[in-house]
Amino acid sequence: MTDIFEHTIEARGLTKSYEGHLAVDALDLVVRPGRVLGLVGPNGAGKTTSMRCMAGIIPPTSGRVTIAGHDLIDEPLAAKGRLAFVPDTPHLFDYLTVEEHLRFMGRIHQLPEVDERIDALLAEFELADRRRHLPGALSRGMKQKLAITIGFLHDPSAIFLDEPLTGLDPLGIRRMREAIALRAREQAAAVIVSSHQLELVEAICDEILIMKNGRSVVQGSLDDIRAQLDGLPENPRLEDIFFRLTEIREDGPSEEPVG
Amino acid sequence: MKHVLAAFGYHARRTAGNRARAILGRLRRPRYLIGFLLAATYLWVFLIRPVSGDTADPQNARWLRLGVQIFYLLNLLTAWIFGAFGRGIMFREAEVELLFPAPLRRPQILLFKLMQAQFGLIVTALVFGAIIDRTLPERPFVLTAFAIWLAGNTLYVHSVFANLTLKSLAARGGPMKALVWLPASLVVLVVFVSVWMAQVEIGGLEVVADVERLLEAGPLRILLAPVRFLADFILVAAGLHFVLGSLAVVAAGALLAAFTVAADHRFEDQALKTARMMSRLKKDGAAGLSDPGKQVLKGSARGFPALAPLGPTWRALVWKNVVSVGRLPRTTVRLIFVLIPFVVAIFVFGRGALSEGKTLAAVSFMLLVVAIYGSLLGPALLRVDLRLDLLHFDVLKSLPIRGRDLLLGEVLGPCLIIFLAQLVLVGLGLYFFPTDLIDWLDWRRKIIGFVIAMPFLFAFDFALFSLENLMALHLPSFVRFGRGMKGGFDQFGQNLLGAIVRGLALTVFILPSLLIGGGLGLLLGLLGSMPIEMIVFLSVLLGSLVLVFVAYGLLVLSERRYERFDLSAESLGVET
């Protein structure tokens, strides 16, 4: 069962630098159970690096990340046992079939009754007739679905989705949106979705965090952000806010955090 | 821990089974089947086929022991020389993205890598066990294969240990970072001191004795102690000695593993970096070694003369290919600039040329050898021609260029680069060669030699590059397309098949052309009572002209094939 905490995903002062380049600069964010946070920003803003740090793929240079109350550095197994990360480009084991991927990850997570879970997930993501296929025989969209299925296998409390809709067909996109909403609503999972598809983010996310140059420019619900900004058009969309906060303007870059 | 082992065991088992099934399934396609059979036949006939006791050469046992020692020595040393640059533990992106966020500790992920390596280690043990069995028929095959497998595991752990230790030093920055160069520097020093002390006559008749002498000399002898132990364990040890040897190898591996676990190095950043590099390597070949972020041209973008807009259309393609060759990945260029002086230096030191005052002669000789090898290796190394461009065939076909011009342009680009490099090498080689070493050699004859070499080298390069491009056009299944790297047993067979086709073409296409042209020149020279230098020049010139004419003729004849070529109908050796 999903653990309930005040903040399922919490990052404090998350900083990551590579060979002198500051990719993420003192990022603070919280995602409560059942909430979906949209992480948006221009290319190179540090979204993927932030997600990778929060998912335990790479260690942060400084700062702390807790998943369902477990510190990612001090209690890595407890924290990682409750999270899922779905990358923007699915990379899979070349010589494991669809079903074997799920069985393997099921064993890693020590899941009981894995057969029922696998059947249900394969049906949900329309992969049931591909269960014996190797990744080489799958389309880009199907690989993406398999990566998502692997992530959802252990009913994670914290879900990190990096560009989850890339390569999916319209039906797949609809299913994916429903799946995210279902995990948040019924399983109280905290979800972070990184995407350039601002309409999707606007539609499925409860809160938005806009990043630029590794820093958080603004965070909050869309209404809160609208209220914080002056000079926006009437009924501004996320797209208007995004360009307002990330574009280089005549009077210089708008890098100062808002609010 | 038990569930992790069970999961990893499941992964290794299923992967091995599916991999074997995939290979067998692919053999249903004729080209893979032919390739596989050729590779298997080659391995069987030349490496594995048992030799009767009467015909087994006892000298081979000496060779074998030497080969095993050198193999393990290189394995141990390269772990410390290249350990800081990714060797030892290379993750795939699937491993990073699926295992790193999973509830696994770092040692467990390393254990996964070791279990993943078992397929390769077992196959290696079986193949090398069979090869050794051919030379040492009295040695039980099972013992040899088991010993190779055990040693392979310990060496794998050793390379991971070296890799993580060096990476950890590099990550600390400051003066500690410089320490990663220490092992490589020491190794180079040890090799040179040992070569110097041994004064080996490399290239002499007693090669085995020379190399044995080299390995026994100076500090190399100390480095060789564990290697000698491994060679004895694999080739000689039996009974109690074998059991004790096995225990020692396992203990060494366990000790290194314990050090690695205790250090708990943070390898995640590096793993992500190497995983990306592995993906690029698979897709882009050597170009993938460079970080895409660093593949930005510095300086003026107009550095190369603007050939493209002027003259015949084929010149645009030559220009494109020359520019592309000039932008080879820096890693490749650095490797070439490091390797050539290293080989020359070893050669000079090894021959004792310094002490005999023949340094310049040795260097000149090496430069000439490298220049000649350029013709043979050039077409394999510089693949900036149809072998890259056929993948974008739809773009090529949309260009307003006649087929023959396109083919000529594709061939000439890399051909000119190799030819120019050869001219520089031959020029330098002849310039530095001491005239007092050979009676008849003077400056006049050096210039004549240079002039004679020019048409021959160009014609030979043009013919070989034409051959490679014609292969790409007519027999695309036997050619590696794109920059990506593909391995595997069946791919080895494909390469072998391609080599056979190239050999046949060389025999029926290049040699007769040279003979006809050369013979004609000789005849004309003799009839005209010309001096010997002029006869040679005329023969080489006419031979080269005929060769270029024939090669160009074949390109022209292939124009129709180009026009009808359909990429989608071909089964190429690359994922497009």
The DSSP string of B127-193 is: HHHHHHHHH-TTS-HHHHHHHHHHHHHHHHHHHHHHHHHHHHHHHH-HHHHHGGGHHHHHHHHHHHH
Residue A241 above 60 pLDDT?
yes
Q: Which residue of A has its CA nearest to B170?
A: A19
Pairing of strands A9-18, A62-67: antiparallel
CA nearest A55 in B: which residue? B101
Residue B505: pLDDT above 50? yes
Contact list in A for residue B119 (CB cut-off 8 A) is none
In this structure, how many other beta carbons lie within 10 angstroms of the beta carbon of residue B502? 17
Mean pLDDT of B428-451: 81
Chain B hits for A88, CB-CB cut-off 8 Å, are: none
Res B576: pLDDT: 32
Task: Provide the β-strand partners of residue A160.
Answer: A85, A192
The confidence score (pLDDT) of residue A151 equals 92
Q: Are B202 and B210 in contact (CB under 8 A)?
A: yes
pTM score: 0.72
Q: Which residues contact A44 (CB under 8 A, 6 or more apart)?
A: none
**What digits encode the pLDDT tens for the residues B299-316?**
544 445 555 556 677 777
Choose between B543 and A2: higher pLDDT.
B543
Instruction: Average the pLDDT over B380-405 and give the result.
Output: 78
CB contact under 8 A, A76 and B7: no
The tokens for B93 are 């992106």
Question: pLDDT higher for B377 or B327?
Answer: B377
The confidence score (pLDDT) of residue B366 equals 79
Helix A140-152 vs helix A114-124: crossing angle, to nearest 10: 140
- Which residues on chain A are in Cβ contact (under 8 Å) with B16? 95
Contact B145, B126 (CB under 8 A): yes
Q: Which residues of A touch B (CB under 8 A)?
A: 18, 52, 55-59, 76-78, 80-81, 83-85, 87, 89, 91-97, 100, 103-105, 107-110, 134, 147, 150
Looking only at the bridges linking them, the beta strands covering A215-220 and A36-40 are unpaired
Cβ <8 Å between B97 and A87:
yes
| Residue B171 in contact with partner chain A when CB distance is under 8 A | no
- A57 and B266 within 8 Å at the Cβ level: the answer is no
Rounded to 10 degrees, what is the CA torsion of B315, B319, B324, B327? 160
Span B23-50, average pLDDT = 76
Is B102 in Cβ contact with A80 (below 8 Å)? yes
CB B452 within 8 A of CB B536: yes
- Report percent pLDDT > 70 for chain B: 76
Contact yes or no for A104 and B104 at CB 8 A = no
Question: What pLDDT is attached to residue B575?
Answer: 38
Q: How confident is the model at residue A250 (pLDDT cuts 50, 70, 90)?
A: very low
Q: What's the DSSP call for residue B485? A: -
Identify the band that residue A156 occupies on the pLDDT scale cut at 50, 70 and 90. Answer: very high
Do the beta carbons of residue B158 and residue B79 sit within 8 Å? yes
pLDDT over 60 at A176, yes or no: yes
Lowest model confidence (mean pLDDT) among A154-163, A176-185, B560-569: B560-569
**Cα(B132)–Cα(B144) distance, integer angstroms:** 8
Tell whether the model's pLDDT for residue A4 goes beyond 60: no
Q: Residues of B with CB below 8 A from A96's CB? A: 11, 14-15, 18
The answer to whether B96 faces chain A, any CB pair under 8 Å, is yes
Q: Where residue B335 falls among pLDDT bands split at 50, 70, 90?
A: low
Give the pLDDT band of residue B382 (cuts 50, 70, 90): confident
Beta-strand relationship, A62-67 and A207-212:
unpaired
Q: What pLDDT, on a 0 to 100 scale, did the predictor assign at position B370?
A: 81
Min Cα–Cα distance to chain B from A149, Å:
12
Chain A residues near residue B266 by CB distance under 8 angstroms: 59
Question: Is any Cβ of chain A less than 8 angstroms from the Cβ of B22?
Answer: yes
ipTM score assigned to the predicted complex: 0.85
Rounded to whole angstroms, how far apart are CA atoms A158 and A9? 6
Would you say residue A54 has pLDDT above 90? yes
Instruction: Give the residues across from A220 on adjacent strands.
Output: A208
Of A175, A258, A178, the closest CA to residue A215 belongs to A258
Tell me the Ramachandran region of residue A71: left when phi exceeds 0, alpha when psi lies from -120 to 50, beta otherwise. beta
Kindly state the average pLDDT of the residues B137-164. 88
Q: Is B269 on the interface with A (CB under 8 A)?
A: yes
Contact (Cβ atoms closer than 8 angstroms) between residue B367 and residue B428? yes
**Tokens read off for A181:** 């909403």
Question: What pLDDT band is residue A187 in, cutting at 50, 70 and 90?
Answer: confident
pLDDT at B285: 57
User: Taking CB atoms and an 8 Å cutoff, what residues of chain B touch A147?
Assistant: 97
Instruction: Give A124-130's long-range contacts (Cβ < 8 A, gap of 24+).
Output: A124/A149, A124/A175, A124/A179, A125/A149, A125/A175, A125/A179, A126/A172, A126/A175, A127/A98, A130/A98
Per-residue pLDDT, averaged over B495-522, amounts to 78
pLDDT band at B380 (very low <50, low <70, confident <90, very high): confident
Contact B93 A91 (CB under 8 A): yes
Instruction: Please determine, for residue B296, whether its predicted confidence score (pLDDT) is greater than 60.
Output: no
Q: What is the mean pLDDT of chain B?
A: 77
- Nearest-CA distance A19 → chain B (Å): 9
- For residues A110 and A253, which has the higher predicted lDDT (pLDDT)? A110
10 Å CB burial of residue B485 (0-12, 13-18, 19+) is middle
A109 contacts on B by Cβ (under 8 Å):
102-103
Q: Is the pLDDT of residue B273 over 70?
A: yes
Q: Residue A36 burial by CB count (10 A; 0-12/13-18/19+): exposed, middle or buried?
A: buried
Closest Cα in chain A to B9:
A104
Average pLDDT of the residues of chain A: 85
State whether residue B298 sits within 8 Å of chain A by CB: no
pLDDT at B574: 39
Average pLDDT estimate for B509-525: 83
- Round the CA-based radius of gyration of chain B to a whole number and report it: 27
Q: Which residue of A has its CA nearest to B16?
A: A95
Chain B residues with CB under 8 Å of A94 CB are 94
Burial environment of residue B222 by CB neighbours within 10 A (0 to 12, 13 to 18, 19 or more): exposed
Tell me what percent of chain B is helix, strand and coil, each rounded to the nearest 5.
Answer: 80, 0, 20
Contact B95, B275 (CB under 8 A): yes
Q: CB within 8 A of A79, min separation 6: which ones?
A: A56, A65, A66, A67, A68, A70, A71, A72
Query: Does the distance separating the beta carbons of A58 and B272 come in below 8 Å?
Result: yes
Dist. CA B268–CA B44, nearest whole Å: 42
User: What integer pLDDT is reported at residue A105 of this predicted model?
Assistant: 92
Kindly state the DSSP code that residue A232 receives in the 8-state scheme.
Answer: P
Sign (positive/negative) of CA torsion B405, B410, B416, B422? Answer: negative
HEC letters along A37-61: EEEECCCCCCHHHHHHHHCCCCCCC
CA angle B125, B128, B134 (to 5 degrees): 135
Q: Is residue B396 within a helix (H) or strand (E), and if so which, with residue range?
A: helix B393-398
B28 touches chain A (CB under 8 A): no
CA–CA distance, B533 with B448 (Å, rounded to integer): 7
- Sign of torsion over alpha carbons A197, A198, A201, A202: negative
Of the listed ranges A63-77, B144-158, B195-209, B469-483, the one predicted with least confidence: B195-209
Give the C-alpha separation, B406 to B390, whole Å: 11
CA A110 to chain B, closest CA, distance in angstroms equals: 7
Highest mean pLDDT of the ranges B218-227, B304-313, B483-492: B218-227
* B201 contact A CB<8A: no
